Amino acid sequence: MLIKDKHVIWIAYIDRRRTRKEGRRLPKSLCVDFPTIQELVRAAEKLGLEPEAVEDAAYPRSWWGRKGYVLVKKSVKKSEAMKAIAKKIVEMRKKGKK
């Protein structure tokens, strides 16, 4: 599958419980435990990245679990988009605890 105008952000990229070998792409300090597709979508919406959720998709390294991914527009580099989304999820979780 080739998507030219969107970045694919898998849940595994920001899951703190995963190792780099298992697909985590960011440092653990930026990641969260048990991220959900809804959190990814809300964070991307707040950042203006026009997200599209694909819920019934399996990350290739863990094909048995269908967690899904989010497509976001290519307005910034993929690594910058992942970091911004992860930081926004952390911020949203902190606001939710108060």
What per-residue confidence (pLDDT) applies to 97?
A: 67
Let me know if residue 93 belongs to a domain: yes
Strands (E), 1-91: 6-10, 52-54, 69-73
What per-residue confidence (pLDDT) applies to 98?
A: 54
The answer on pLDDT for 31 being more than 70 is: yes
Let me know if residue 1 belongs to a domain: no
Q: What is the pLDDT of residues 39-68, one digit of tens each?
A: 999 999 999 999 999 988 888 777 767 788
Kindly report the pTM of this predicted structure.
0.87
Let me know if residue 34 belongs to a domain: yes
Looking at the 3D structure of the chain, how many domains does it have?
1
CATH number of the domain where residue 66 is located = 3.30.56.30
- Residues 40, 9 contacting (CB under 8 angstroms): yes
Domain that holds residue 73: 6-97
